[in-house]
Structure 1
Amino acid sequence: MIPAAFDYVAPTTVDSAVRALAEAGDEAKVIAGGQSLLPVLRMRLAAPTKLIDLGRIPEMRGVRDGGDHLVIGAMTTHYDIQSDPLVAEHAELIKLATDTVADPQVRHRGTFGGSLAHADPAGDLLAPALALDARFIVSGMDGRRTVSAADFFVDFFTTALHQDEILVEVHVPKHTDWTAHYEKFHRVAQAWSIVGVAAMVRAEAGKIAEARIALTNMASVPIRATAVEDALIGKQATAENLKAAAEHAAEGTSPTTDGNADPAYRQHLARVLTSRALTAAAGV
């Protein structure tokens, strides 16, 4: 199908993009990489009167060192995330999760911030952002504010962004000495995750000193598997201990039913995939 007619603007600064969004009101849409929005427009599931393209704003691209954190521009492509040495060194979990996103063509067009702002519960970058305690810098007519990953994802395809706000960049605390793994289950290559697990551990003298586990598609938003984290602290990083901790992965989850799985199957997958992710992250 052909999208409905709309006005198109391509601002070159964040401030001008925010103004354009505020002036257009509820009928405007922001486009980043377009990998989620364009199919919706073509099927006329959305018919905005104005499309605001963020692709010409240099400030919103790239990765830089912010001291104790990385600053990742919202318009940074998945491909650039995959190949960035700072991400590989200080936020390995994001690199590993990005490796699983769709296919090379999509990764060259899709953006880090676009995926997060889209807030699909099956999206592979939401859980890593939560596990890493990322902070979202958003800009609106009232200025800029910071939103934690725990508060940014509100519901299915819903975030804390106000109507006149744009996600500008994401601050990711450095986890340089942590090891990580992202494990997902999907029916076919390049498909959305039926369940995914983002796991990070920091070991000292063979014991788990800290752990962060976040789950993909086990609720309407990504969630932390805190029961697993608590079960790991102070334990020897053995296969038996990791598997025992992973048995707590489904506690407190509320997965949905769809054509891929029912809640019981998703909870089973969460336990299995958490065990696999922890084993890989710990190098056991």
Structure 2
Amino acid sequence: MIPAAFGYVRPGSLSEALGQLGESGEGAKLISGGHSLLPMMKLRLAAPATLIDIAGLAELQGVTVGENEVVIGAATTHAQLEHHAEVAKALPLIPAVAHLIADPSVRNRGTLGGSLAHADPSADWPAAMLALDAKIDVIGARGARSIPADAFFKGLFETDLALDEILVRVRIPVIPGRRVAYRKFRHPASGYAVVGVAVVVDFQAERCAGGRIAVTGFADHAFRASSAEAALAGYAGQPDQAERLLDLAFTGTVPLEDRFADADYRTQLGRTMLRRALADAMTSD
């Protein structure tokens, strides 16, 4: 289908983009890679009056790998993160997740910031950001602020990002010695996660001393499986503890239902993905 008519502007700086966003009001939408917004516009599920193209803004570019933190600009593409050697060394979960996103054409155009701001309930990056304890830096008319990933995702396509704010960068702590894994069941048509599970665990003497478990695709937004996290200590692959972790991870959360996966099927997929992610983490370096 053809989208409704819209205006298009391409600001030359972040401050200019903020000004245009403020002037355009609720009728404006930011666009970077466009792989989430444009399909919705073609289906008339979104009809912004103005598109503000921020893909080329210098302030949103670049990846910095420090000793204690990795900083990723919002306009960084999935493909850049998939093939970034320094990021892979510091945060191996990042290229592992990037590699599983859709297909090469999407990975070459889609951006980290765009995915997070769009907050599709089946997107891959939200689970990674939750599991890695990321901070999401945004700026708006009232100034800049940093939002913990735990507080960023609110509901179906809903985040803590205000209408007049722009996601600028993501900051992720580097903690040596963690073991990580990401498993997802891909939707055969879209490549989105029917369920995806990211695991980041701390190991001491070949036993888990704690960690984080984040799930995407299962509910109306990505979430941390906090009850399961609390039961991670001492886990070394014991079948009985594994079953308890699987029970705790999904109990009390309302699963999504669609033509591809009803609640029961999605729950079984979630349990399987978590079981495999835990096994992967146990054997990773």
TM above 0.5, yes or no, is yes
Counterpart in the other structure of 2:225: 225
Q: CA offset at residue 130 of structure 1? A: 0.8
Does the CA contact (< 8 Å) of 1:153 and 1:222 recur in 2? yes
Does the CA contact (< 8 Å) of 2:68 and 2:175 recur in 1? no
Deviates more, 1:254-263 or 1:73-82: 254-263
Aligned sequence identity (%): 43
CA 9–187 in structure 1, closer or farther in 2 if over 3 Å, else same: closer
Counterpart in the other structure of 1:137: 137
RMSD: 1.8
Q: CA offset at residue 241 of structure 1? A: 4.3
Q: How does 1:109-120 map to 2 (within 5 A)?
A: 109-120=109-120
Q: Secondary structure at the match of 1:252?
A: coil
Q: CA offset at residue 39 of structure 1? A: 1.4
Instruction: Provide the rounded CA distance (Å) in 2 between the counterparts of 1:203 and 1:82.
Output: 25
Instruction: Provide the rounded CA distance (Å) in 1 between the counterparts of 2:43 and 2:245.
Output: 44
Counterpart in the other structure of 1:82: 82
Superposed CA deviations along residues 136-163 of structure 1, whole A, max 9, x for unmatched, are 1111011111111111111100111111
Q: Do structure 1's residue 213 and structure 2's residue 210 form an aligned pair?
A: no
Counterpart in the other structure of 2:267: 267
Instruction: Provide the rounded CA distance (Å) in 2 between the counterparts of 1:71 and 1:45.
Output: 33
Instruction: Provide the rounded CA distance (Å) in 2 between the counterparts of 1:3 and 1:274.
Output: 39
Instruction: Provide the rounded CA distance (Å) in 2 between the counterparts of 1:78 and 1:96.
Output: 11
Q: CA offset at residue 218 of structure 1? A: 2.1
Counterpart in the other structure of 1:234: 234
Q: How does 1:159-170 map to 2 (within 5 A)?
A: 159-170=159-170
Counterpart in the other structure of 1:61: 61
Q: Mark the runs of 5 or more structure 1 residues left unpaired by the alignment.
A: none
Q: Secondary structure at the match of 1:232?
A: coil
Q: Secondary structure at the match of 1:79?
A: helix
Counterpart in the other structure of 1:10: 10
Counterpart in the other structure of 1:197: 197
Superposed CA deviations along residues 158-188 of structure 1, whole A, max 9, x for unmatched, are 1111111110101111133212111111342
Superposed CA deviations along residues 39-81 of structure 1, whole A, max 9, x for unmatched, are 1222333222211001220121121035521111110000001
Q: Secondary structure at the match of 1:248?
A: helix
Q: Quick one: which amino acid aligns to residue 281 of structure 1?
A: A
After the TM superposition, which segments of 4 or more aligned residues of structure 1 sit over 4 Å from their partners?
237-241
Q: CA offset at residue 38 of structure 1? A: 1.2
CA 64–239 in structure 1, closer or farther in 2 if over 3 Å, else same: farther
Q: Quick one: which amino acid aligns to residue 167 of structure 2?
A: L
Instruction: Provide the rounded CA distance (Å) in 2 between the counterparts of 1:244 and 1:151.
Output: 27
Instruction: Provide the rounded CA distance (Å) in 1 between the counterparts of 2:276 and 2:4.
Output: 46
Counterpart in the other structure of 1:146: 146
Instruction: Provide the rounded CA distance (Å) in 2 between the counterparts of 1:205 and 1:237.
Output: 13
Q: CA offset at residue 217 of structure 1? A: 1.8
Instruction: Provide the rounded CA distance (Å) in 2 between the counterparts of 1:179 and 1:75.
Output: 27
Q: Mark the runs of 5 or more structure 2 residues left unpaired by the alignment.
A: none
Instruction: Provide the rounded CA distance (Å) in 1 between the counterparts of 2:263 and 2:22.
Output: 40
**Number of residue pairs matched?**
284
Does the CA contact (< 8 Å) of 1:213 and 1:229 recur in 2? yes
Instruction: Provide the rounded CA distance (Å) in 2 between the counterparts of 1:235 and 1:40.
Output: 43
- State the TM-score, normalizing by the size of structure 2: 0.93
Q: Do structure 1's residue 279 and structure 2's residue 279 form an aligned pair?
A: yes
